[in-house]
Structure 1
Amino acid sequence: MSSQTSLSRPKAAATPILHRVRGKVLLLLCVMYAIAYLDRTNISTAGPTIMQALHLNATQFGIAVSAFSIPYALLQIFGGNIGERFGARKSLFWIGVLWGVATIATGFSVGLWSLVGARLLLGLTESAAFPTATSAMARWVPPDRNGFAQGVVHSASRLGNAVAPLVVGGLIIWGDSLNTFVAGWQISFLLIGLLSVVWALLWMISYRDRPRNHPKVTAEELSEIPRELEKAARPATPWGRLVRTILPVSIVDFGYGWVLWVFLTWIPTFLADTFNLPLSKYALFTSLVLVGGVVGDTVGGMFADFLLRRTGNLRNSRRTVLLIGLIGSLAWLTPLLFQHTLTVATISLSLSFFFLELCNATLWAIPMDVAPEWSGTASGMMNTGFGIAGIFSPIVFGAMVDSVGWQWPFGISIALLALSAVVAAVMKPRRVLPRGVAEVDAP
């Protein structure tokens, strides 16, 4: 297989997604991504309630949130590699079951360290989820739709973010109204955890690791899928070349991830503290902010694929979207450094999150572009940057809020976006080929 075939021969029209089995695969993954982010971010909506119930300050709560990212960051590469070895079907089944258990355990936390333990378990179980899902997409999705596929599933994850404040806030209010021995915030974690287990069962029933083994796949659809990924065995992983290619992308992903964790962790508390909002109102305004990401993910993925088909230039098509997203996000965060009203803060945060999420699908598409045979491992390398950001961002941000207020933490976030934009401007993705075949710069 030549690198030119994989990277620089755009199709005149996009390969169909609808009316194919791959569309159903993407739909199942969309549901998983939405649930995954419900599981991850329900803690931020419940944060003020949890902090009061467990007697935690902002720094301690930041530590609990960051606990998720310790195993999540450290096991990204390992998790992606394991997912490739055992297949996405079995791997995502067990991942879904175990992260459901971890979510339920969060609801039974009685103090800081039990909360930390539950979040560690959630990070451990979810560390392989998105790299393994990327491996599944690489087997089913034609290369010219990589950005779209990643955009759609990550839009679903942001939909999970957006509805989490309303769903979790509603469950907390409803649960408290029952006047049982279980608090409303605990009921919310129990029900969302059970939802994860139900999804895992549906995935195990419906998905197949090799498209040709699916009972409803057609010859036409098989002809649109990269044939080299239909092989039962994959080539040996070229670790050195993968690291050299993906490391700059991981650095960009760190800056992106730092700011994303700010949105996912601290926006409910920022709105509640700054504008003295009750749960029902700050949940609503948080959802309005996070809706921008739902749109941004799909738009970013579709725009990146459009540029690739139009120009045939992988580097420029991916880099252009990253630069627009990073620069736009930092520009719209800037008003938060000055005096502002609730309306200004909501609009600024919404637009900043929209631009930030333009980057997400592109960051995940790059490993599929440059290393489709090892897309799980490569995307795990890339997402390690996000995981490391998740370790430090909630702790540092929370500690700074406790000591100096909100302006300085937002200022640091703006600086990291600027640094990420510089790296994105100079990085050069390279197609990684099996051993014995020379790498070629992406056009």
Structure 2
Amino acid sequence: MCRTGAGREHCAALRAVLLSAGEDSGMDERRGRQAGVWLTLLLGALVLLNYVDRGALGIAAPKLKHELDLTPYAFGLAVSAFAWIYAPAQFAVGWLADRFCVYRLIAAGLALWALATLLTGFVSGLAMLVALRVILGVGEGVAFPAASKIIARHVAPEHRGIANGTVAAALAWGPALGTFAGGLLLASVGWRAIFWVFGGVTLLWLVPWLIASRPHWSDRASRAGDSVPVRTVMREPTPWLLGIGHFCNTYGFFFLLAWLPLYLVEARGLSIGTMTGMATAVYLVQGAGALLWGWGSDALVRRGWPEGRLRKGLLSFYQLSLAAAIVGAALATSTATLFGWLLLAGAVGGIGGANSYALAQIYAGPRAAGSWVGILNGVGNCSGIVGPILTGWLVGRHGGDFHVAFYASAGIVGFGALWWWLALPPVEPVAAAVEPGIPSAAAVE
């Protein structure tokens, strides 16, 4: 990754991010430098694997749906089962990330979701598929509250965009890698191999993580005494407002992640090979865009732009653009036009993955970032419960026609553009989240 020109620039930016932030725990500079780089890169790999495994069901859908004899509604039910526990678990995981060792929490969660992915290759019916999707949701729930906890602890405000952009790029490249590899497996050896290969590869991540994180299992920042009481965070209205905006953000993303392969093959009549290439290209563009949007927003912050207003504006721009792209894709009359609209969705998609978490990190500060992102993700990922069932019902009701489902998705995403800009209070650290003895920073709006 660091050998190409773009890769070298990105790795250099990552190192600048991590070295500028310092270490809350008072570790010496050399230890902090080495730990920061490796842990951040491994968190990027964690999120990449998270979305490889999460999107596996959508990739397998063209063959899995027929072999298991699933109706559109039943398939939507299986997709949504992931979020039945993933969304509410975010509240608990955020609290755990602020009070206990976040490094061990991540390892346990990944091991659980990797096993659930692997076992999905053995399912024989809807009930078993739903049960394993629920277990997958429990395991994957650790990723974003834990990653935000670490970013809030180590990253300075002027580098917050590239740090979260790294996670957002992994969030997009996970589906890209999963779609490409899964599509090849689907076409050559069938859908079950997708889950066996993806689950096994994910388990291998534990080896470097345990090596890199083990020295930090007793860090001061991981101890309960340094966290903000969860009841204090729950009484704050702002994380709930962020969660509503994130619901609109994730609704559009999950709609495309879960339904795009099936839509391209069944509704548009594309081959599995063409579907794989098209969807992979969209996610590659989204990942590259996440890094560029993160780098660009940091550059503007360093030039004196108000960070809060900038990140809110980017989120509103993103959701308006995504809503337009979803409508455009539904109305496209040719494969080339459809691909163009999907590329637009990918080009702006990286904004949503980075800036919603960055706003939560600004409000929360290092001590409460896990709990705040837990609420943000908990409310936001309810779209993963509502969206697949609603989409499956709409597609089934209209005889396999996806148009109404596309319009519903665009409407929810477009509402989010207004919400980010109008509903949030001034973006500044909340007093309860600031380190003891350090006054709250001035507003960054």
TM interval, short-chain normalised: 0.7 to 0.9
Letter aligned with residue 431 of structure 2:
L
Mapped contact 1:325–1:356 kept (Cα < 8 A): yes
Task: Name the SS of the counterpart of 2:146 in structure 1.
Answer: helix
Kept in 1: contact 2:91–2:375 (CA 8 A) = yes
Q: Say yes or no: does 1:384 pair with 2:378.
A: yes
2:24 equivalent in structure 1: none
Helix, strand or coil: the match of 2:351?
helix
TM-superposed deviation, 1:171: 2.0
Partner of 2:4 in structure 1?
Answer: none
1-side partners of 2:218 and 2:110: how far apart?
25
Partner residue of 1:282? Answer: 275
Aligned to 1:420: 416
Report the CA distance between 1:312 and its aligned residue: 5.0
1:49/1:431 Cα in 2 relative to 1: closer, same or farther (>3 Å)? same
- Partner residue of 1:264? 257
Task: Look up the SS of the partner of 1:340 in the other structure.
Answer: coil
Quickly say closer, same or farther: Cα 1:87–1:371, change in 2 above 3 A: same
**Corresponding position of 2:432:** 434
Alpha carbons 1:30, 1:153 under 8 Å: kept = yes
What is the alpha-carbon distance in structure 2 between the residues aligned to residue 86 and residue 197 of structure 1? 23
Question: Which segments of 5 or more consecutive residues in structure 1 lack a partner in the other structure?
Answer: 1-12, 177-183, 214-227
Corresponding residue for residue 411 of structure 1: 407
Alignment map for 1:244-323 (pairs within 5 Å): 244-323=237-316
User: CA–CA distance in 2 between the matches of 1:302 and 1:334?
Assistant: 29
Percent of residue pairs identical: 25
Match of 1:50 in 2: 64
What pairs up with 1:14-163 in 2 under 5 angstroms?
16-17=16-17, 20-21=33-34, 22-163=36-177
- The answer on whether the counterparts of 1:256 and 1:356 sit within 8 Å (CA) in structure 2 is no
Query: Which letter maps to 1:48?
Result: P
1:325 and 2:289 aligned: no
Any conservation in 2 of the 1:39–1:192 contact (CA below 8 Å)?
Answer: yes
Aligned residues of 1:238 and 1:434 also touching (Cα < 8 A): no
Return the TM-score normalized by structure 1. Answer: 0.86
Kept after mapping to 1: 8 A contact 2:163/2:294: yes
> Whole-Å Cα distance in 2 between the matches of residues 241 and 316 of structure 1?
23
What is the letter of the counterpart of residue 110 of structure 2?
Answer: G
- The one-letter amino acid of 1:390's match is G
- Give the aligned partner of residue 224 of structure 1: none
Change over 3 Å in CA distance of 1:230–1:200 after alignment to 2: closer
Superposed CA RMSD:
2.5
Superimposed CA distance per residue, residues 243-297 of structure 1 (whole angstroms, 9 cap, x where no aligned partner): 3121221111001111011110011111112321222221111112222321232
2:68 partner letter: L
Letter matched to residue 165 of structure 2: G
**Which whole-Å CA distance do the structure 1 matches of 2:89 and 2:282 have between them?**
30
Measure the CA separation in 1 of the matches of 2:18 and 2:228: 33
Give the corresponding residue for 1:201: 207
Closer, same or farther: CA 255–232 of 1 in aligned 2, 3 Å = closer
**Conserved in 1, the CA contact under 8 Å of 2:99 and 2:225?**
no
Which whole-Å CA distance do the structure 2 matches of 1:339 and 1:14 have between them?
A: 39
Partner of residue 217, structure 1: none
TM value normalised by structure 2: 0.85
Q: Specify the code of the residue in structure 2 equivalent to 1:237.
A: P
* C-alpha spacing 1:241/1:164, structure 2 compared with 1 (3 Å): closer
Give the CA deviation at 1:186. 1.5
1:402 to 396, 401, 408: 396
Q: Distance in 1 between matches of 2:378 and 2:293?
A: 21
Question: Match for 1:396: what amino acid?
Answer: L
CA contact (8 A) 2:101 2:217 kept: no
CA contact (8 A) 1:137 1:149 kept: yes
CA 1:249–1:306 in structure 2 vs 1: closer, same or farther (change >3 Å)? farther
Alpha-carbon distance between aligned partners in 2 of 1:50 and 1:266, rounded to the nearest angstrom: 13
The CA deviation at 1:308 is 2.4
Change (3 A) 1:208 1:325: farther
Contact 1:140/1:211 (8 A) holds in 2: no
Q: Which amino acid aligns with 1:295?
A: A
For residues 303-351 of structure 1, give each alpha carbon's deviation from its aligned partner in whole angstroms, at most 9, with x where no partner exists. Answer: 3323322225232121121122111112222223424211111110121
Runs of 4+ in 1 over 6 A off after TM superposition: 435-440
**Counterpart position of 1:219:** none
1:235 Cα deviation after fit: 3.7
Counterparts of 2:306 and 2:209 in 1: how far apart (Å)? 35
Shift of 1:79: 0.8
1-structure distance, mates of 2:63, 2:193: 13
- Do the aligned residues in 2 keep the contact of 1:146 with 1:369 (CA within 8 Å)? no
How many angstroms does 1:95 deviate by? 0.9
SS at match of 2:275: helix
Q: Are the counterparts in 2 of residues 34 and 157 from structure 1 also a CA contact under 8 Å?
A: yes
Contact map agreement 1:249 1:363 (CA 8 A) in 2 = yes
Decide which moves more: 424-433 or 27-36.
424-433
C-alpha distance in 1, partners of 2:259/2:76? 9
2:346 equivalent to 1:353: yes
Could you give the per-residue CA deviations for residues 205-255 of structure 1, whole angstroms, max 9, x where no partner exists? 112575997xxxxxxxxxxxxxx9588731432644563121221111001
Provide the secondary structure at the position in 2 that maps to 1:46. Answer: helix
Separation of aligned partners in 2, 1:440 and 1:247: 22
Work out the number of aligned pairs and report it: 409
Unaligned runs of 5+ in 2: 1-12, 20-32
